[in-house]
A and B are shown apart, each in its own frame.
Chain A
């Protein structure tokens, strides 16, 4: 088996005095879709932010293609080919849809063309000159995913892309993620909706209190499902 694309070891992170991550440990191989599942406040979003270097303090090791990320400033990390779709989507109100789409700089060859993006998300083509935040919630989510596909980044960090969206939109996002996997993207997905995650991911890591407590492969999702439900039940 090839060396992991992303390898996280003994990752700790703090917001001021609050110690949020307590030794996260997991790996993502090239071309995989891997989820971090867990309850609210378990540290899933913080894990993504720690990979990106936008938490106030982090220690431990995060290696991307063998390169250590702890210690690098956030803009250098992004330039290595890691793109982020934040939970709150991060659509900018002072930019049009087209400007939002063109905002992230291209960091590598092989990004999707605008044509290919409009094929994935036909709704966006009609709305290019609208203010970014005038789009519906579903369209904003599509825009947030679309704009990181242009950049050539091959590792996508998606934070709860289905949160608060209608079932038909959730299905469309599920189809999109499967197509991105077929196109060779590696995806680290944070989810609370495990039914959604179960249909698209290769492996699941269960996160509790800032550390990984279990790993469930998609193949064991039948027998593993009870374990999952037990972890996620409130």
Chain B
């Protein structure tokens, strides 16, 4: 069997792929957090619960309405995004101008409430969600076996992240968003409806989380606490990338997933802490994060 750095190649590439998959979820989730933090100045602790709601919406669409994976990929972000819009209009909008702490408490409390409701309805054990027939099976690449669904997750996540980045950095709508992030009063005085933009941005960030949840459903099963476990790591990713940095959250998300995967190969005991060690080092050397602008 071929070896690389003293490790069997299939094991190395297997962990690398797992790292990329985790990285894909880190990237989409931290991207949503970054977009929301940039414009709303709110650290959205409900994000993990909204990711879970995406997965559950996919499960409910399938089991209650007979709508499969592809419909779920379209409808779940839309439906969960609408709940996000309601949360912003009814609750978050009232916190504008107050200390960060209020937004943190509200969104953290909401996460607990939402997770509690789902646990009460569905129990704590995971519900199965099948891989769609079109994406079953895999490819033998010679040095490793690549399951089709996992390849799909990496590719579609990358595409969604790049599309979001392009819209924000290269379009007129994106320039409104960047400008309003920097100086909302000025942008509103130019005739742009900033409060509406804030609402839609929160809805979009939440929809991204739900999209990640649908992607995750066939891999991790669907369970009420699936987001709570993941979101802690995602917050570390956001801190490392730099609060509010779009490109930072994408690059750091994928990068840290891969680093985590490789750590599993070379020093398995450290794999669950490596991201937090990196976070500590980055905070010491560059408190604004790798891609953050010092304010």
Contacts and interface: CB of A to CB of B under 8 A. Distances in A.
A138 to B, nearest CB: 20
A75 B186 contact: no
B175 A104 contact: no
Given A92-B182, A92-B183, A78 B175 contact: no
Interface size on B, as a range, is 10 to 19
Contact of B194 (A75, A79, A84, A151): A75
A83 B191 CA distance: 9
Contact of A86 (B176, B178, B186): B186
B232 interface: no
A74 B175 contact: no
Contacts of A52: 189
Nearest to B192: A75
Interface in B157-216: 172, 175-176, 178-179, 181-183, 185-195
Contacts of B175: 95, 99, 102-103
A154 to B, nearest CB: 14
A105 B183 contact: no
A95 B192 contact: no
Contacts of B189: 52-54, 74-75, 77-78, 84
A90 interface: yes
Tell me the interface secondary structure of chain B in the complex. helix
A94 B188 contact: no
Contacts, number: 60
A77 B60 CA distance: 46
A52 to B, nearest CB: 5
A90 B194 contact: no
A92 B191 contact: no
A165 interface: no
A107 B176 CA distance: 15
Interface in A68-92: 73-75, 77-79, 83-84, 86, 90, 92
A151 B191 CA distance: 10
A93 interface: yes
A37 B188 CA distance: 26
A53 to B, nearest CB: 8
Contacts of B187: 103
B178 A95 contact: yes
Interface string B13-49: 0000000000000000000000000000000000000
A46 to B, nearest CB: 13
B186 to A, nearest CB: 4
B214 to A, nearest CB: 31
Contacts of A102: 172, 175
B185 A104 contact: no
A104 to B, nearest CB: 4
Contacts of B172: 102
Interface in A85-138: 86, 90, 92-95, 99, 102-105, 107
B238 to A, nearest CB: 18
The residue among B182, B189, B194 with the most chain A CB atoms within 10 A of its own CB is B189
20 contacts: A54-B185, A73-B188, A74-B185, A74-B188, A75-B188, A75-B190, A75-B191, A75-B194, A78-B189, A78-B191, A83-B190, A84-B190, A90-B183, A90-B186, A92-B183, A94-B179, A94-B182, A103-B190, A104-B191, A105-B190
Nearest first, the 8 A-B pairs at minimum CB distance are A78-B191, A104-B190, A94-B178, A90-B186, A74-B188, A99-B175, A79-B191, A75-B193
